[in-house]
Structure 1
Amino acid sequence: MYWISLLLAGFFEVGWPLGLKLADLPNMKIWGIALAAISMTLSGLLLWFSLKEIPIGTAYAVWTSIGAVGTFTIGVLVFGDPNIPLRWLGVALILLGVIFLKMG
């Protein structure tokens, strides 16, 4: 249950930068800010719940890496951010680091 909570927290961690990006688009300011605020709140609450069982260092690393990888992927696929192999290697290293942290 705590790991599911942490994964959901990471999912909502992606929502707030997405909301801020959407807020810059015409006619999306209120919706974007609302998405960001709701996502921040849910992400924080779910992280807080997961910390009841998961060590803080592991939880924080997993939470931020889901947010970073998810935001990066949306940036590339939706917003046209640079899509070069070296950037994907960086994402792979983030994921590898989290795997090692969990195994350790």
Structure 2
Amino acid sequence: MAWLWLVLGGLFEVGFTTCLRNVDGFRHVGWTLGFLASVSLSMLLLEVAARSIPMGTAYAVWTGIGALGTVLTGIWLYGEPATPVRLLLVVGAVACIAGLKLTAGS
């Protein structure tokens, strides 16, 4: 169950980075509330997951999910570049996250 909480926490990290892009100095209330809710849930779920998963592993996976999701969201929603090198690096990040999961022993 801890891995499920960790993945959900990583997805909320994508939510808070996406909201953060749109808060415009915290002047847009809706985006600001979305940011605050997402960051709170993301941190809470990381903390819950880290009760069962080693903190170093949990943090690396949580960060990796957030980074991967944020890159893909940027490509999909904001027209950021999807160059072959960038996509290859994203695949490498996914491989590292999978490797951490496989070697966590939890």
Q: TM-score, normalised by structure 1?
A: 0.90
In the alignment, the residues of structure 2 paired with residue 96 and residue 37 of structure 1 have an alpha-carbon distance, to the nearest angstrom, of 30
| Equivalent AA in structure 2 for residue 72 of structure 1 | V
Gaps of 5+ in 1: none
Kindly indicate whether residue 101 of structure 2 is the aligned counterpart of residue 102 of structure 1.
Answer: yes
In structure 1, the residue matched to 2:18 is: 18
Q: CA deviation at 1:34?
A: 1.0
- Written as runs of structure 1 = structure 2, the 5 A alignment for 1:64-83 is 64-83=63-82
Question: What is the aligned length?
Answer: 101
Q: Deviations over 1:59-96 (max 9, x none)?
A: 11110011001110010010011111111111111111
Residue number in structure 1 paired with 2:61: 62
Gaps of 5+ in 2: none
Paired residue for 2:6? 6
After TM superposition, give the deviation of residue 3 of structure 1 in Å. 0.9
Deviant stretches of 4+, over 4 Å: none
Q: Distance in 1 between the 2:102 and 2:30 partners?
A: 40
| Structure 2 residue aligned with 1:51 | 50
Report deviation, 1:102. 2.4
Q: Give aligned-pair identity as a percent.
A: 41
Letter in 1 for 2:11: F
- 2:4 partner amino acid: I
